[in-house]
């Protein structure tokens, strides 16, 4: 989180813009505002697996105030993994319009179905424009440690970042000492974790696809899925599931999708699911969600 704030502060002036594919992690907007910038959304669609639109569509959004394009790859909340071709397209735009590319890559180990992950740092010819944000939070389930980093080959940028970083007083020393031991984690650990998350992803995806009217492409990374439901209002539905719906004294809690969009009105009938439960509990939760959708539609006359 702090790394993104520092990056925005270092590359932009007051009222400058950063382009971000929506839906996006809700705090991205707050980070930009804290740095005096604001987010301009690149709208992506559930029907297209939340992949990037054509180059021409993104280029229309670039103005003299645009300083960067920022992406989460793999994505939160979408679980989308951008292809090398998509990243190369962003690289072409960055070179043409003199932009930075910010890659939030904290989920990069969580890629499924045999896909090969491509980092922005793997794209040739844009090395001085790339800023990669990384963290131990997701990789090692250590969100509370608050340890992350900024990586860039742009020396002038790194000097500017160091000046901003001087204002932060101190680092979490004890947590950093403990984190050094995580470097000894074996590849087998990540393989097992990936296999487990892929099983959970399949449970969620298959259950969603079995619900009539749901629009959802299979996510290939992170541990989230964004789905469009056959309902009128996801905010109301999420509340209704907690206040009005109960099956054997159980229900399912979901995150309404509108909060992940900057464009008013988008995501109104979408939800995000984080598949972080064990397989048994996840299967039960998805069953309850399906029953909840059926009951909600009946109650609302949809």
pLDDT band at 166 (very low <50, low <70, confident <90, very high): confident
C-beta separation of 111 from 220 below 8 A: yes
The DSSP bridge pattern shows strands 17-22 and 66-72 to be parallel
d(C-alpha 14, C-alpha 180), whole Å: 37
What average pLDDT score do residues 199-207 get? 98
What average pLDDT score do residues 36-62 get? 97
**pLDDT tens string 252-281:** 999 999 999 999 999 999 999 999 999 999
**pLDDT tens string 208-240:** 999 999 999 999 999 999 999 999 999 999 999
- How many CB atoms sit inside 10 A of residue 252's CB? 22
> What are the structural domains of the chain?
2-182 (3.40.640.10), 187-300 (3.90.1150.10)
pLDDT computed for residue 9 by the predictor: 94
Instruction: Specify the 3-state DSSP secondary structure of 131.
Output: strand
pLDDT computed for residue 278 by the predictor: 96
DSSP 94-124: HHHHT-EEEEE-TTTT-B-TTPPP--GGGST
What average pLDDT score do residues 243-250 get? 97
**pLDDT tens string 120-143:** 999 999 999 999 999 999 988 888
pLDDT over 80 (residue 39): yes
d(C-alpha 78, C-alpha 52), whole Å: 12
């Amino acid at each position: 989180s702090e790394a993104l704030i520092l990056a925005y502060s270092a590359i932009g002036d007051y009222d400058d813009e950063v382009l971000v594919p929506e839906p996006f992690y809700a705090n991205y907007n707050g980070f930009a505002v804290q740095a005096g910038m604001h987010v301009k959304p690149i709208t992506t669609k559930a029907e297209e697996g939340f992949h990037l639109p054509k180059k021409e569509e993104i280029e229309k959004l670039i103005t003299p105030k645009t300083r960067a394009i920022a992406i989460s790859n793999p994505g939160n909340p979408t679980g989308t993994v951008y292809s090398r071709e998509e990243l190369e397209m962003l690289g072409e735009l960055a070179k043409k319009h003199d932009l930075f590319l910010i890659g939030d890559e904290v989920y990069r180990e969580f890629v499924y179905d045999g896909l090969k992950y491509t980092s922005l740092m793997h794209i040739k010819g844009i090395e001085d424009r790339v800023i990669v944000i990384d963290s131990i939070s997701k990789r090692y389930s250590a969100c509370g440690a608050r340890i992350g980093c900024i990586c860039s080959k742009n020396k002038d940028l790194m000097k500017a970042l160091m000046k901003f970083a001087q204002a932060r007083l101190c680092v979490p020393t004890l947590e950093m000492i403990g984190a050094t031991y995580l470097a000894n984690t074996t590849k087998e650990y990540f393989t097992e974790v990936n296999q487990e998350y892929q099983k959970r992803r399949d449970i969620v995806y298959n259950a969603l696809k079995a619900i009539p009217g749901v629009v959802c492409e299979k996510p290939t990374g992170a541990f989230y899925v964004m789905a469009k439901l056959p309902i009128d209002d996801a905010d109301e539905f999420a509340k209704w599931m907690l206040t009005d719906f109960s099956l054997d004294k159980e229900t399912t809690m979901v995150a309404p999708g509108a909060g992940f969009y900057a464009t008013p009105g988008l995501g109104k009938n979408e939800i995000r699911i984080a598949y972080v439960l064990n397989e048994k509990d996840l299967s039960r939760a998805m069953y309850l969600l399906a029953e909840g959708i059926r009951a909600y539609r009946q109650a609302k006359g949809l």
